[in-house]
Structure 1
Amino acid sequence: MSTSYLPATTDSIAQALEAKDTSGAISILYRVLDDPSSSPEALRMKEQAITNLTDLLRQENRGEDLRSLLTSLRPFFSLIPKAKTAKIVRGIIDSVAKIPGTSDLQISLCKEMVQWTRAEKRTFLRQRIEARLAALLMETKEYSEALTLLSGLVKEVRRLDDKLLLVDIDLLESKLHFSLRNLPKAKAALTAARTAANAIYVPPAQQGAIDLQSGILHAEEKDYKTAYSYFFEAFESFNALEDP
């Protein structure tokens, strides 16, 4: 990162866009983030710089740099609304996830951010990162750690009645129990996910995931006719997405 900053203005953002190469654009955007100004306009331009920088680092497969960026932005997060912080944090974590071979980095990054959000009392963001962490642990077959994390999280989220997150967590718990070959608990968690989903609007991708898990569980019980029906419903939900 350069020692001399660039003012957080539209001109500086444009300068990065017009850079001859990616490394030049990245350098300019880092310098924009070094601007000490915290005026509303400067903060808005820095948010744009973060978005652009995140995209460029992802394109260059620079996962560790994305991790360092997220750590360096913590003072900035105290200057902007919590909702914007959550969007930026989740966006950077999503970008790391798009880089091949970064499972361990993602887990480490999520654990770091869980500690930070807990210290900063950012409950909304922490719960979502913990759900993401549990999914990553399940993917890497760390079933015991994932189940421990989910058990505490589901109680907390159910108490807060955050139904959209509850659907995700119950569905994840169903997948986890299925991986552990505990079909009764997998079915119970899926029923809980459906119950929560029935009370709110569920995005097509999430509804498709619920139907897919339903199909898998019915197929496991050799109820292939019902399984087919759910698989077809899942296919229709996923097929309707603009970017599957």
Structure 2
Amino acid sequence: MTTEGDAMEVDTAAAPASADAAPESPAAETAEEEEDVSDLSALLESASSENAASAKIPLLSSLLNEPSSRYGPAASALKERAVYSLARAYCQDNRTVEVVTLLTGETCAAFFANITKAKCAKVVRAVLDIVCSCAPDELEMQAGICRNIVDWCKLEKRSFLRQRVEAKLASVLFQQDKYGEALALVDNLLTELKKLDDKQLLVETHLIESKIHHGLRNLPKSKAALTASRTNANSIYVAPALQSQIDLMSGVLHTEEKDYDTAHSYFLEAFEQLDQMDDQEKAVPCLKYMMLCKILDGLNKALGLSKKGVPGARSYKTDVDISGMITGRQGVKYAGPAVDAMSAIAAAASTRSLKEYEAVIAKYPHELNEDLLIRHHLGTLREQLLESNLIRIIEPYSCVEISHVAKLMEMDLPSIEKKLSQMILDGKFRGILDQGKGQLVVYEEEDVDKAMEGGLKVIENMDSVVTSLFGRSQALRSMMI
């Protein structure tokens, strides 16, 4: 389906001379019906029957550049299918250079010259989607084909298609971790799109901008870009695939703010939409993020007990129980290494086992370390497990040697000292480090005097009231003078 912008790029030569132009004559209709493309159809079928990509490529290339140069409706439809098949064949045969120059080279030049601009834009975007789906890991090739198309669009003065391809290029650069280049491209593109008020492309571009700022760890700008994307999305119809990406990004930002309940609800919305579309590749990360939120939220609630002064804060299996998320039809459908990795992390968190956690990280490096969000928050989870283990070790003691704690934790002494001092400063427990004796002295939690706390709040409020009245009196005095 072409966008509103692409629909504007029509071939004016193909339009009728006036609104009152007469319909096509019966002779013209008969000519279209009698268009002989049987040889082209046979050539396309023979190319499809070939198993080897290297055998398909010459047949498809000859179809696109056949000597008769037929570009009627039937011939154009066959040649369009040939372009798509040729893109797939190049990807299967790993011909990177040919894929990059496919659309802008001689192979498709005659075909593009004889179809409308809207049709050309549709074919270009479809080929880009095919290349991305057939070679998802070949990011350099995807960036190369995008740059070639952008240069070609500038020569042909096809602004709407260029903007579409630049948005795709920014997304590819983001996947390559080239955040600076991607952000510069997005900023220029947004300036143009705001003048044209292309809502659909604004939604997608602001979403890419939000992802880039998140990659740069600039959360305020990431939230602002996502808000702009949602604002534009409210005024148009948004496809479920794009809406799921907006919900996914909302969940990511709420996870960064440690609002795990809200983040889980956004991830669930995105997961359900992708599950209905049967897009397992994109649904699996949503499921992983849902499991991550459950784990972090459960462990936070369990570790929060120690901050309230309850001795022996322990997390039980029910605190980080994610069994309900990975059972039933969906659990069977999405079973795999990614789900197994998160289940193993949940098992380590439920037992507060730092050793088990590190074993899981070593066992599933691809599933846990390549995702930006999971990698960042698993680092936070490790710190929480380390603090939890230290609290469990020191809670029976009022005074314990730091070397004994380091031995039980199987860690070096300087790391344990640094972590204990950090926990004391953060108020995780009350105590001091006696480095002269190499001991940790733990104080008992004192009962809070609620009357004293209430009195201090009253004094604080009275102070603010008196300060406000004093400011007003000063203003009245200045007016009287």
- TM-score, reference length from structure 2: 0.47
**DSSP-derived class of the 2:237 partner:** coil
Matches within 5 A, 1:133-172: 133-172=169-208
Deviations 1:103-162 (A, max 9, x none): 112112211111111111111211111001111111112111111110011121122121
- C-alpha displacement of 1:240: 1.3
Q: Structure 1's 19 and 205: CA in aligned 2 closer, same or farther, altered over 3 A? A: closer
From 17, 20, 26, the equivalent of 2:48 is 17
Q: Which of structures 1 and 2 has the larger relative contact order (alpha carbons within 8 angstroms, sep 6+)?
A: 1
**1:18-75 alpha-carbon deviations (Å, 9 max, x no partner):** 4474433322111111214143143333222212222333333333322232222134
Does the 8 A contact of 1:130 with 1:149 survive in 2? yes
Distance 1:164 1:20, change over 3 A: closer
Residue 124 of structure 1 aligns with which residue? 160
Q: From 183, 208, 217, give the equivalent of 2:253.
A: 217
Deviation at 1:207, TM superposition (A): 0.7
Residue 100 to residue 171, structure 1, CA distance change in 2 (3 Å): closer
Give the match for residue 131 of structure 2: 96
Aligned to 1:54: 87
1:239 Cα deviation after fit: 1.1
Q: How many equivalent residue pairs? A: 239
CA distance in 1, matches of 2:109, 2:260: 51
Distance 1:206 1:101, change over 3 A: closer
Deviations 1:69-100 (A, max 9, x none): 22221342121111221222222222332325
Q: How does 1:26-105 map to 2 (within 5 A)?
A: 26-36=57-67, 37-40=69-72, 41-70=74-103, 71-72=105-106, 73-97=108-132, 98-99=134-135, 101-105=137-141
In 2 relative to 1, CA 189–13 (structure 1 residues): closer, same or farther, beyond 3 Å? same
Percent identity (aligned): 46
> 2:231 matched to which residue of 1?
195
Q: Distance in 2 between matches of 1:111 and 1:8?
A: 35
The amino acid that maps onto 2:121 is A
Structure 1 stretch displaced more, 234-243 or 90-99: 90-99
| 2:277 partner SS | coil
**Change over 3 Å in CA distance of 1:58–1:153 after alignment to 2:** same
Tell me the distance in 2 between the aligned counterparts of 1:65 and 1:205.
30
Which letter does structure 1 place at the counterpart of 2:125?
Answer: R
Contact 1:8–1:42 under 8 Å retained in 2: no
In 2: Cα distance, 1:146 partner to 1:51 partner:
28
Deviation sequence 1:186-240 (CA, Å, 0-9, x none): 1111001111111111111111111111111111111122111111111111111
Seen in structure 2, the aligned counterparts of structure 1 residues 101 and 191 have a Cα distance that, compared at 3 Å, is: closer
C-alpha distance 19-222 of structure 1, shift in aligned 2 (>3 A): closer
Once residues 60 and 94 of structure 1 are traced to their aligned partners in structure 2, the CA distance between those partners, rounded to angstroms, is 17
> In 2 relative to 1, CA 44–228 (structure 1 residues): closer, same or farther, beyond 3 Å?
closer
**Deviation per residue, 1:171-192 (Å, 9 max, x gap):** 1101111111111111111001
1:109 aligned partner:
145
Matched-pair contact (CA < 8 Å) for 1:212–1:230: yes
Distance 2:246 2:51 in 1: 46
CA contact (8 A) 1:58 1:95 kept: no
Counterpart Cα distance in 2 of 1:149 and 1:22? 35
Distance in structure 1 (CA, Å) of the matches to 2:48 and 2:152: 32
Residue type matched to 2:115 in 1?
Answer: I
Q: For structure 1, which segment, 227-236 or 208-217, has the greater mean C-alpha deviation from structure 2 after superposition?
A: 227-236
- What is the distance in 2 between the residues matched to 1:219 and 1:23? 47
List runs of 5+ in structure 2 lacking aligned partners: 1-36, 281-481
In the aligned structure 2, how far is the partner of 1:111 from the partner of 1:18?
33
Question: Which residue pairs with 1:3 in the alignment?
Answer: none
Give the whole-Å Cα distance in 2 for the aligned partners of 1:159 and 1:85: 24
Q: Which SS does the other structure have where 1:39 is aligned?
A: coil
Counterparts of 1:86 and 1:21, CA distance in 2: 29
**Counterparts of 1:231 and 1:85 in 2: how far apart (Å)?**
36
Code of the aligned partner of 2:178: E
Matches within 5 A, 1:181-192: 181-192=217-228
Moved more, 50-59 or 228-237: 50-59
Alignment of 1:170-185 (within 5 A): 170-185=206-221
Closer, same or farther: CA 20–185 of 1 in aligned 2, 3 Å: closer
Counterpart Cα distance in 1 of 2:40 and 2:95: 26
Which consecutive residues of structure 1, in runs of 5 or more, have no partner in the other structure? 1-5
Give 1:78's aligned amino acid.
A
